[in-house]
């Protein structure tokens, strides 16, 4: 059986919509029309310093410990910042797509029912029944995977990671103060990861309100000024 013109047009339109959604998703998340993850230049500098041979022949001995430590810390923080930014954007796009899909499907369902298209043919009857089922499935997936909460959670992580990055880029050149400030930054980074993990799993797998509230308290405690550490700046 040869495909009808309507079927070909519908298939082509669906492919165009899917391609457009993918291009928007890729550009919004990765700022490129194809997913590309660039390593921070500080990480590349660390690799170059470690590979650079010293007079003694030991590659690691040829790098200044202060410079290497600063670059390594900034590299770690930038990786964390990139991860939260990327995952936050992914959740944002998926939530926006799902919300828009539910709105469109609900509109089409009301339109088809009002026009009584289900009475015209068996195909239209199936389509009219399938639209609300698809809308319900999308709504259930959006709620089950907590896309809105994940978006907000990762955005909070991104903001806190950028605050840590600001302090990391302003590390003091005094060796003693540098060691203390670097340790504070590592502690804040660890607290951020723990808080994000606890709240994420509370959203995804726990239904108990009290447990979820406890996870929110852990997240608030980890991001409080008392736990941020005093980073010395010179």
The per-residue pLDDT for range 39-96, each reduced to its tens digit, is: 888 888 888 887 776 544 554 555 678 888 899 999 999 999 999 999 999 999 999 9
Query: Is residue 28 in some structural domain?
Result: yes
Query: Is residue 234 in some structural domain?
Result: no
Query: Is residue 190 in some structural domain?
Result: yes
For the CA atoms of 195, 228, 183, 47, the dihedral, rounded to the nearest 10 degrees, stands at 70
Residues 88 and 157 sit within 8 Å (Cβ to Cβ): yes
Give yes or no: residues 7 and 62 share one domain: no
Query: Is residue 233 in some structural domain?
Result: no
Q: Which two tokens stand for residue 21?
A: 């959604």
Give yes or no: residues 63 and 5 share one domain: no
Residue 171 to residue 183: CA distance in whole angstroms: 11
What's the helix, strand, coil split of the chain in %, to 5? 80, 0, 20
Residue 137 to residue 149: CA distance in whole angstroms: 19
Averaged pLDDT for residues 178-207 = 88
Averaged pLDDT for residues 156-180 = 92
Q: How many CB atoms lie within 10 A of CB 183?
A: 11
Give yes or no: residues 128 and 188 share one domain: yes
Residue 197 to residue 215: CA distance in whole angstroms: 9
175: left (phi over 0), alpha (psi -120 to 50) or beta: alpha
Residue 99 to residue 110: CA distance in whole angstroms: 17
Q: How confident is the model at residue 225 (pLDDT cuts 50, 70, 90)?
A: very low
Domain that holds residue 190: 40-227
Residue 151 to residue 184: CA distance in whole angstroms: 27
Query: Is residue 232 in some structural domain?
Result: no
Q: Give which of 157, 160, 186 is closest to 70, Cα–Cα.
A: 186
Q: What mean pLDDT is reported for the chain?
A: 80
Say how many residues make up the chain: 234
Give yes or no: residues 92 and 10 share one domain: no
pLDDT tens-digit map of 111-155: 888 888 778 888 888 888 899 999 999 999 998 888 999 999 999
Residues 81 and 162 sit within 8 Å (Cβ to Cβ): yes
Residue 213 to residue 157: CA distance in whole angstroms: 18
Domain count, the chain: 2
What pLDDT, on the 0 to 100 scale, is given for residue 201? 85
Give yes or no: residues 62 and 110 share one domain: yes
Give yes or no: residues 22 and 134 share one domain: no
Residues 104 and 131 sit within 8 Å (Cβ to Cβ): no
DSSP code of residue 59: T
Give yes or no: residues 89 and 9 share one domain: no
């Amino acid at each position: 059986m040869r495909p009808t013109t309507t079927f070909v047009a519908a298939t082509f339109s669906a492919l165009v919509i899917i391609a457009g959604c993918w291009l928007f998703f890729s550009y919004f998340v990765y700022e490129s029309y194809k997913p590309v993850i660039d390593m921070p230049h500080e990480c590349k500098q660390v690799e170059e310093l470690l590979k650079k041979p010293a007079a003694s022949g030991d590659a690691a001995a040829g790098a200044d410990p202060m410079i290497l430590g600063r670059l390594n810390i900034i590299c770690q923080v930038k990786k964390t910042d990139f991860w939260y930014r990327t995952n936050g954007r992914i959740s944002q796009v998926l939530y926006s797509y799902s919300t828009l899909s539910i709105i469109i499907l609900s509109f089409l369902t009301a339109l088809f029912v009002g026009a009584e298209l289900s009475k015209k043919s068996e195909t239209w009857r199936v389509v009219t029944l399938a639209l609300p089922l698809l809308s319900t499935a999308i709504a259930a997936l959006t709620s089950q995977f907590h896309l809105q909460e994940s978006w907000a959670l990762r955005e909070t992580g991104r903001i806190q990671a950028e605050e840590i990055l600001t302090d990391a880029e302003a590390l003091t050149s005094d060796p003693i103060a540098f060691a203390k400030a670097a340790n504070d930054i590592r502690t804040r980074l660890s607290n951020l990861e723990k808080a994000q993990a606890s709240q994420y799993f509370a959203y995804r797998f726990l239904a108990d309100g009290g447990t979820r509230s406890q996870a929110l308290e852990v997240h608030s405690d980890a991001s409080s000024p008392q736990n941020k550490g005093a980073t010395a700046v010179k």
